[in-house]
């Protein structure tokens, strides 16, 4: 009888997970259609399809293929990268507040990218700077946490302190940069997909693909960390090496997203928890986190473009407002 109940619960759980994935994909599809066809230049689904297939008039092709397709694809890829990074951090720390936003990795990536933009190569891609900034933040956070005794709480506090420090450094860099570069960098710091071009998609998708494969290969170790370090060690996981690899991958995912769109808050924090609740999973699902992050960011970007048209809000501002409300909700729920 007990075996039948367990089997029934597993079937129910799988059905719930499949339903959640299908619903998420449906919302993402609607957002893709809205992102490609709506705005100051309206295009019907038939005109969008014709432009994507190489037909249609020149104006529709320029707007849909040249401007909107890169932005939609970038939103999906960046949201997926942030969702994966948040899932890794929260699994390792076993804390729903452990995300690149909270522990300073997003701010560190932004600082590295700003140094690249303002001091080294203003016309070059800031991707390398964002990666280096994220990795340097990883090293500093781990060194601080280890020097005072490693704990999840101390690691998060060290990250928050670094976020404040990096924010001050970012402001200083903006005051030293030429006016035009400072203006562009300031818009980028708010998290925006407005300047996304087709040339950005190659490095973005390549990095996301490689890092996702590494996460897939390390999936067993990540699942073991959900049970605690001692249990993971008893299962044969080399916890020190595996933890370092997973944190580096998550930092690189954060740096990849930050290099293209700037620091975008809330996605890495909330996507893993939303996916876990929707799918009824005991742990944080990687695929669900990626899908949820991609969908949430795309929906947020479409709203940011259309809510106050013709004025476009940087998507990072919108996700920041939603993220603040989400944190208040977590605090209220924890108190209850």
Nearest-angstrom CA–CA distance, 109 and 131: 6
Which pLDDT belongs to residue 336?
A: 56
Q: Is the pLDDT of residue 321 over 90?
A: no
Nearest-angstrom CA–CA distance, 283 and 288: 11
Q: Which is nearest to 267 in space by CA: 162, 178, 193, 164?
A: 193
Inter-residue contact 295 to 79 (CB < 8 Å): yes
Q: Which of 180-189, 203-212, 316-325 has the lowest mean pLDDT?
A: 180-189
Nearest-angstrom CA–CA distance, 294 and 91: 19
Nearest-angstrom CA–CA distance, 255 and 11: 38
Give CA separation, 147 vs 98, 118, 137, 150, 244, in Å: 20, 33, 15, 8, 17
Higher-scoring residue by pLDDT: 3, 126: 126
Q: Is the pLDDT of residue 46 over 50?
A: yes
* pLDDT tens figures, 108-152: 888 888 888 787 776 666 777 888 887 788 788 777 766 554 456
Question: Average pLDDT of 45-52?
Answer: 87
Domain that holds residue 172: 2-335
How sure is the predictor about 85, in pLDDT bands with cuts at 50, 70 and 90? Answer: very high
Question: Average pLDDT of 243-260?
Answer: 86
Question: Average pLDDT of 2-18?
Answer: 63
Q: Which residues lie below 8 Å from residue 187, measured CB to CB, with a gap of 6+? A: 194, 314
Question: Average pLDDT of 204-211?
Answer: 93
Which pLDDT belongs to residue 205?
A: 94
Nearest-angstrom CA–CA distance, 334 and 322: 18
Q: Is the pLDDT of residue 179 over 50?
A: yes
Tokens 């006016």 correspond to: 179
Nearest-angstrom CA–CA distance, 97 and 189: 22
How sure is the predictor about 1, in pLDDT bands with cuts at 50, 70 and 90? Answer: very low
Specify the number of domains making up the chain.
1
Q: Which of 42-46, 136-140, 275-279 has the lowest mean pLDDT?
A: 136-140
Q: How far, in whole angstroms, is CA 295 from its chain's centroid?
A: 11
- Helices 69-93 and 286-306: crossing angle in degrees, nearest 10, is 140
Higher-scoring residue by pLDDT: 112, 214: 214
Which pLDDT belongs to residue 335?
A: 58
Q: Which residues lie below 8 Å from residue 175, measured CB to CB, with a gap of 6+? A: 182
Q: How far, in whole angstroms, is CA 30 from its chain's centroid?
A: 20
Inter-residue contact 319 to 297 (CB < 8 Å): yes
**94 three-state secondary structure:** coil
Q: Which two tokens stand for residue 30?
A: 């609607």
Burial zone of 189 (CB within 10 Å; 0-12 exposed, 13-18 middle, 19+ buried): buried
Mean pLDDT of the chain: 83
Tokens 């209220």 correspond to: 332
Question: Average pLDDT of 79-83?
Answer: 95
Question: Average pLDDT of 190-195?
Answer: 85
Give the domain CATH number at 228: 1.10.3470.10
């Amino acid at each position: 009888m007990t075996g039948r109940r367990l089997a029934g619960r597993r079937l129910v759980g799988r059905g719930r997970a499949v339903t959640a994935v299908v619903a998420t994909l449906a919302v993402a599809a609607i957002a893709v259609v809205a992102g490609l066809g709506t705005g100051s230049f309206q295009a019907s689904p038939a005109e969008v399809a014709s432009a994507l297939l190489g037909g249609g008039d020149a104006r529709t092709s320029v707007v849909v293929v040249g401007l909107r397709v890169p932005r939609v694809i970038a939103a999906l890829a960046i949201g997926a990268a942030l969702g994966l990074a948040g899932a890794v951090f929260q699994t390792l720390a076993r804390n729903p507040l452990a995300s690149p936003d909270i522990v300073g990795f997003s701010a560190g990536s932004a600082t590295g990218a700003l140094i690249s933009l303002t001091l080294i190569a203003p016309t070059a891609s800031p991707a390398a700077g964002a990666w280096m900034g994220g990795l340097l933040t990883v090293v500093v956070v781990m060194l601080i946490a280890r020097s005072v005794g490693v704990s999840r709480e101390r690691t998060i506090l060290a990250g928050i302190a670094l976020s404040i420090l990096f924010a001050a450094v970012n402001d200083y860099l903006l005051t030293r940069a030429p006016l035009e570069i400072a203006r562009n960098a300031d818009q980028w710091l708010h998290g925006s997909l407005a300047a996304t071009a087709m040339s950005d998609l190659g490095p973005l998708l390549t990095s996301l693909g490689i890092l996702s494969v590494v996460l897939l290969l390390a999936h067993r170790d990540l699942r073991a960390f959900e049970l605690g370090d001692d249990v993971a060690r008893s299962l044969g996981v080399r916890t020190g090496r595996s933890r370092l690899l997973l944190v580096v991958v998550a930092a690189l995912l954060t740096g990849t997203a930050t290099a293209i769109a700037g620091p975008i808050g809330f996605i890495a924090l909330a996507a893993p928890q939303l996916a876990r609740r929707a799918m009824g999973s005991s742990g944080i699902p990687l695929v669900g986190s990626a899908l949820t992050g991609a969908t949430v960011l795309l929906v947020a970007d479409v709203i940011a473009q259309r809510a106050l048209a013709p004025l476009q809000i940087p998507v990072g501002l919108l996700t920041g407002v939603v993220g603040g409300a989400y944190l208040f909700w977590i605090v209220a729920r924890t108190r209850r």
